[in-house]
Amino acid sequence: MKIEGQHRRAIEALSDQHAVRIIDQTALPHQLTWLTLETLADAANAIKVMQVRGAPLIGATAAYGLAFAMAKSGSDASLEKGYDTLLATRPTAVNLRWALDRVRAVLQPLASKLRAEAAWAEAGKIAEEDVKANQTIGGHGHRVFREVLADKMGGGVLNILTHCNAGWLACVDWGTAVAPIYQAHDAGLKVHVWVSETRPRGQGASLTAWELKQHGVPHTLIVDNEAGHLIQRGLVDLCIVGADRVASNGDVANKIGTYLKALACKTHHVPFYVALPSSTIDWTIRNGIKEIPIEQRSAREVTHVSGLNAKGVREEVLICPEGTQARNDGFDVTPGRYITELITEYGTFSTNATDMRRLRLAAGL
């Protein structure tokens, strides 16, 4: 999508150098820095320290990371080492494993000297397919938005609540949950987005607000605590979020705090949508609440907040007594029954068993 009027992607291949360019998302929204990744270590580090984040972008970056490993050595040992190194970077997002499995499956039958080119091509395909899938998701979501607005008493502005960042910065382009917002806005629908801050890392405040501002979509920042009140007062027409991993029963692991929003939406009959490419579904998991591993992150993300000080310098401040113990689950799991529809590249699906089977067939799995 657009940065200062220019169309960019969150990961851009530099084909002549067999390298990629990414935005250092830890520096946003205060600074726009492009970084070049060209080694396995570069890619693994970028995922680990969250210079790239968001399930689809993690997948694409990991695929390129494996291509970098192959460029150094196409041996089986190099392939396995690359695979293991990248897989260990983040535990919750299933696209990571999905992308690595896909590239490895292409490489394994090949002679080692052919693997570098093949890996590079496959990573590129994954990125292109992600763009296409998200554009399609945006179209389906846009249609859903029009239906919700048509049902709204009095019409007017469609108030959309989102959490964390499931925008183009979480993908290669378009985004998942934000893709329909861009398409609706570009098509002239009056949309207004409630951007939930998303503590502890603040991806709503720092990434979603930045994206929407760059693209000119009206939005208002709120603290995570506000969602219940706004939903209770009828100020939210729909909620849409992305997903880090979806189980085959429709349970959705997404950024911590998603579940509370889903509860409030259910209580007040506000539709709650999850937008995702089908690669985010882990068909091996039958019960999301019981089986999806939840990443435990550092206490420091809770006890400290990072931002720009009065002098325009990025700084981290301590918000509690020194030495306070904290717990930091990166994700929570929303049971499928709270989700109105999954919005995928194959269309919209309920989370009941019949629809999940239909989705699996559509995905050819």
Q: Find tokens 């502005």 and name the residue.
A: 157
- Report in angstroms how near the CB of residue 297 gets to a copy of itself at its nearest: 11
Type of residue found at 266: K
Nearest CA to 290 out of 232, 349, 247, 348 is that of 247
Q: Give the number of residues in contact with a copy of itself, rule: CB under 8 A.
A: 62
Among 3, 106, 294, 363, binds a copy of itself (CB under 8 A): 294
- Report in angstroms how near the CB of residue 352 gets to a copy of itself at its nearest: 20
Q: What is the dihedral of CA 324, 254, 224, 189, to 10 degrees?
A: 160
Long-range pairs for 300-308: beta carbons < 8 A, 24 or more residues apart: 301/200, 301/201, 301/328, 302/199, 302/200, 302/326, 302/327, 302/328, 305/200, 305/202, 306/202, 307/30, 308/30
For the chain, report the end-to-end CA distance as a whole number of angstroms.
31
Closer Cβ to a copy of itself, 61 or 159, answer by number: 159
State the Cα–Cα distance between residues 331 and 259, nearest whole angstrom: 9
State the Cα–Cα distance between residues 363 and 193, nearest whole angstrom: 31
Site string for a copy of itself, 146-185 (x = CB under 8 A): ----------------------------------------
Closer Cβ to a copy of itself, 170 or 302, answer by number: 302
Contact 179, 219 (CB under 8 A): no
- Report in angstroms how near the CB of residue 293 gets to a copy of itself at its nearest: 13
Among 74, 138, 202, 336, binds a copy of itself (CB under 8 A): 202
Closer Cβ to a copy of itself, 129 or 226, answer by number: 226
Q: Give me 114's structure tokens.
A: 């052919």
Closer Cβ to a copy of itself, 127 or 247, answer by number: 247
Closer Cβ to a copy of itself, 54 or 82, answer by number: 54
Mention every residue, 6+ apart, whose C-beta is less than 8 A from residue 322.
none
Closer Cβ to a copy of itself, 162 or 279, answer by number: 162
Please identify which of the residues 237, 244, 251, 282 carries the catalytic annotation: 244
The single-letter DSSP state of residue 208 is I
The single-letter DSSP state of residue 349 is E
Binders of a copy of itself in range 298-357 (CB under 8 A): 299, 302-310, 315-321, 324-329, 331-333
Beta bridge partners of 333: 253
Closer Cβ to a copy of itself, 121 or 318, answer by number: 318
User: Is residue 173 among the annotated active site residues?
Assistant: no
Site string for a copy of itself, 205-234 (x = CB under 8 A): xx--xx--x-----xxxxxxxxxxxx-x--
Helix (H, G, I), strand (E, B) or coil at 330: coil
251 is a site residue for a copy of itself (CB under 8 A): no
Type of residue found at 316: E
- Report in angstroms how near the CB of residue 64 gets to a copy of itself at its nearest: 28
Beta bridge partners of 219: 193
Binders of a copy of itself in range 253-282 (CB under 8 A): 255-257, 259-260, 263-264, 267
Burial class (CB in 10 A: 0-12, 13-18, 19+), 40: buried
- Report in angstroms how near the CB of residue 172 gets to a copy of itself at its nearest: 22
Angle at 323 between CA 321 and CA 327, to 5 degrees: 95
293 is a site residue for a copy of itself (CB under 8 A): no
Q: Which stretch binds a copy of itself (CB under 8 A): 173-181, 191-199, 342-350, 356-364?
A: 191-199
Q: Which residues are catalytic?
A: 244
The binding site for a copy of itself (CB under 8 A) comprises 29-30, 194, 197-200, 202, 205-206, 209-210, 213, 219-230, 232, 255-257, 259-260, 263-264, 267, 289, 294, 299, 302-310, 315-321, 324-329, 331-333
